């Protein structure tokens, strides 16, 4: 890894970011469970201006049959940005190279907490829809999908809490906005953490960062994902406490 060429002035540690947050501060976030009536499980996660909806269907029989796996269930994730969800032009509907990639990484981020061997020949469908986007969509998607899976009553070893961390202006920060992401020299590191064990199930990195910076970023992710976990837990329990 190469040391990032610093652009502009490097702010001192603890300096405020463009939107007034500190380095380890998340955007205001909100979690809600049971937002889609006909789904077996559903959830919403909102982080700043990013809103992700997740719906889970199944386990149910998988058709066509040749896609079935007699050893375990198939986890099928589908990530989609709504046409009106972007900040500028209309997002072209339908699958794209980007949405296929993100569907796959959501699937890989969730698989370690599921025991798919319980449902041979079945499928668990996870649909992640983005209503509004401002960076961090895959993280919001994973966070919502984890709650939706729990809400669907599918056995899970843990929840999954996801947050993006990164290098902005030479500073390691949490939960980047689109504005920060688009700055020269920014490195975005989406991560997903199992809150109980601290294991990572998602880690992507494009760009240049020193190993020390990455270490720092991962530590920050472990720390701030606990806030997201708390919100997930609360949202899941709230569904039953009022009654």
**Which parts of 42-101 interact with another protein (CB under 8 A)?**
58-61, 70, 73
Q: Which CB atom, from 217 or from 228, has the smaller least distance to another protein?
A: 228
Contact between 73 and 140 under an 8 Å Cβ cutoff? The reply is: no
Taking CB under 8 A as the binding criterion, the range among 46-54, 120-128, 173-181, 182-190 that sits at the site for another protein is 120-128
Q: Which CB atom, from 141 or from 195, has the smaller least distance to another protein?
A: 195
Q: Which CB atom, from 41 or from 166, has the smaller least distance to another protein?
A: 41
Q: What is the C-alpha to C-alpha distance for residues 236 and 243, in angstroms, rounded to an integer?
A: 13
40 part of the interface to another protein, by CB under 8 A: yes
> What is the contact mask toward another protein in residues 167 to 186, using x (rule: CB under 8 A)?
--------------------
Q: What is the C-alpha to C-alpha distance for residues 142 and 146, in angstroms, rounded to an integer?
A: 6
241 part of the interface to another protein, by CB under 8 A: yes
Lookup result for tokens 């895959």? 138
Q: Which of 150, 172, 176, 202 binds another protein (CB under 8 A)?
A: 150
Q: Shortest Cβ distance from residue 233 to another protein (Å)? A: 5
Q: What is the C-alpha to C-alpha distance for residues 69 and 71, in angstroms, rounded to an integer?
A: 5
Nearest Cα neighbor of 231 from 27, 22, 23, 86 is 27
Q: Which CB atom, from 8 or from 155, has the smaller least distance to another protein?
A: 155
Q: What is the C-alpha to C-alpha distance for residues 228 and 172, in angstroms, rounded to an integer?
A: 19
161-168 and 187-193 strand pairing:
antiparallel
Q: What is the C-alpha to C-alpha distance for residues 202 and 102, in angstroms, rounded to an integer?
A: 11
Taking CB under 8 A as the binding criterion, the range among 5-13, 80-88, 212-220, 230-238 that sits at the site for another protein is 230-238
Q: Which of 107, 151, 180, 188 binds another protein (CB under 8 A)?
A: 151
Q: What is the C-alpha to C-alpha distance for residues 102 and 78, in angstroms, rounded to an integer?
A: 8
Q: What b/e readout covers 130-151, taking b as 16+ CB neighbours within 10 angstroms?
A: bebbbbbbbbbbbbbbbbbbbb
Tokens matching residue 84: 């009106």
Taking CB under 8 A as the binding criterion, the range among 82-90, 91-99, 129-137, 148-156 that sits at the site for another protein is 148-156
Q: Which of 24, 158, 181, 216 binds another protein (CB under 8 A)?
A: 158
228 part of the interface to another protein, by CB under 8 A: no
165 part of the interface to another protein, by CB under 8 A: no
**DSSP letter for each residue of 108-122:** HHHGGGB-GGGSTTE
Contact between 113 and 77 under an 8 Å Cβ cutoff? The reply is: no
Q: Shortest Cβ distance from residue 199 to another protein (Å)? A: 12
Chain residues in the site for another protein (CB under 8 A): 40-41, 58-61, 70, 73, 113, 115, 119-122, 150-159, 194-196, 232-233, 236-237, 240-241, 243
């Amino acid at each position: 890894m190469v040391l990032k060429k610093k652009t502009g002035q490097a702010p001192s540690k603890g300096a405020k970011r463009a939107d007034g947050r500190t380095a380890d501060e998340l955007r205001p976030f909100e979690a809600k469970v049971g937002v889609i009536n006909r789904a077996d499980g559903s959830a919403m996660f909102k982080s700043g201006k990013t809103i992700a909806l997740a719906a889970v269907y199944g386990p149910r029989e998988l058709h066509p049959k040749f896609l079935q796996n007699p050893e375990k269930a198939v986890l099928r994730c589908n990530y989609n940005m709504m046409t009106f969800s972007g900040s500028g032009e209309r997002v072209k509907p339908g699958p794209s190279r980007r949405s296929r990639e993100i569907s796959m990484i959501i699937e890989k981020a969730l698989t370690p907490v599921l025991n798919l061997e319980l449902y041979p020949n079945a499928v668990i469908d996870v649909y992640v829809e983005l209503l509004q986007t401002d960076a961090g969509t895959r993280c919001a998607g994973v966070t919502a999908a984890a709650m939706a899976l729990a809400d669907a009553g599918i056995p899970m070893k843990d929840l999954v809490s996801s947050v993006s961390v990164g290098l902005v202006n030479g500073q390691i920060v949490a939960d980047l906005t689109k504005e920060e992401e688009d700055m020269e020299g920014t490195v975005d590191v989406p991560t997903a953490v199992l809150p109980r064990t601290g294991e990572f199930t998602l880690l992507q990195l494009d760009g240049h960062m020193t190993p020390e910076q990455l270490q720092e970023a991962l530590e920050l992710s472990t720390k701030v994902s606990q806030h997201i976990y708390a919100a997930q837990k609360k949202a899941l329990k709230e569904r039953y406490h009022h009654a």
